[in-house]
Amino acid sequence: MSDSAPRPGPLTARQGGWAYGVFLALMLGLFAAEIVHDYQPAKLSAFLVVLFWVPLLALHETGHAAAAWVLGWHVGQVVIGMGQTVNRFRLRAAVVEVRMFPVEGFVRCVPTNLRLPQLKSAVIYFAGPGVELLLAGLVLLFVGPDKLFSRSDDYQLILWQSLAAAAAAQAVVNLIPQSIQTPRGEMVNDGLGIIRSFSLPEAHYAAMIGQTCNELEETDDPVGWSTPDR
């Protein structure tokens, strides 16, 4: 079922900058007020977890796209954020969109052949949270478990602790199977997508071969794209 409503075009650089700036300033201002009140270095951790959210979201979606490319799937679109488009550019064959509110994202991709499509789909779904778990594991190895899980007033250690916590938390949340209902059907997250990848017949993947990004936008196919990432 197609959506006949007009889609908003990209914001100008000035509009996008102002909108994102106001949103970010509001969020950071609230955290700053809480940190200043009865200040303790450990309070910076919550602020840093929020600050790491955007680069981790970009890393998450890059993980999906990179896994799809490596496995030979066609990547048509990579979206970081939700809401109106702030910037759009092309990276190889994929259209990359940065949207106003960086709280979730998705990757639209389709198989190009029928060699182990179920397994490849599951790997692509796992690649997003997987790269975040890898990052958290590398921080753990670099810092050491004794320091990473200890309370400290050392600002550098707090930075590493916050990065590892944000990466691990984002990965775990995405791996808990769940879905949401949209006007065009059900959208699944990475955890549920991994499970459903193995339950769909080969004919389902065969029908996806050759589809373009525009054709994928007309459906909320749970394997054609990975979403939502929260």
Looking at the predicted structure, is the pLDDT value of residue 8 above 60? no
Looking at the predicted structure, is the pLDDT value of residue 59 above 80? yes
Beta pairing, strands 225-226 & 185-188? unpaired
According to DSSP, residue 41 is labeled G
According to DSSP, residue 200 is labeled S
Distance CA 124, CA 15 (A): 34
Q: What is the pLDDT of residues 93-133, one digit of tens each?
A: 889 999 988 888 889 999 999 999 999 999 999 999 999 99
Q: What is the pLDDT of residues 21-46, one digit of tens each?
A: 565 566 666 656 655 555 566 667 77
What local confidence, expressed as pLDDT, does residue 212 receive? 66
Distance CA 148, CA 131 (A): 19
Q: What is the pLDDT of residues 72-96, one digit of tens each?
A: 999 999 999 888 888 898 888 889 9
- Spell out the residues 6+ positions from residue 59 whose beta carbon is closer than 8 angstroms to its own: 131, 132, 135
Distance CA 194, CA 216 (A): 19
171 pLDDT band (50/70/90 cuts)? very high
* Mean pLDDT value of segment 155-167: 93
Query: What are the structural domain ranges in the chain?
Result: 13-222
- Spell out the residues 6+ positions from residue 159 whose beta carbon is closer than 8 angstroms to its own: 48
- Spell out the residues 6+ positions from residue 95 whose beta carbon is closer than 8 angstroms to its own: 76, 77, 78, 88, 89, 213
| Alpha helices by DSSP H, the chain | 13-36, 44-70, 117-143, 145-148, 155-175, 190-199, 202-208, 213-216
State the pTM of this model: 0.77
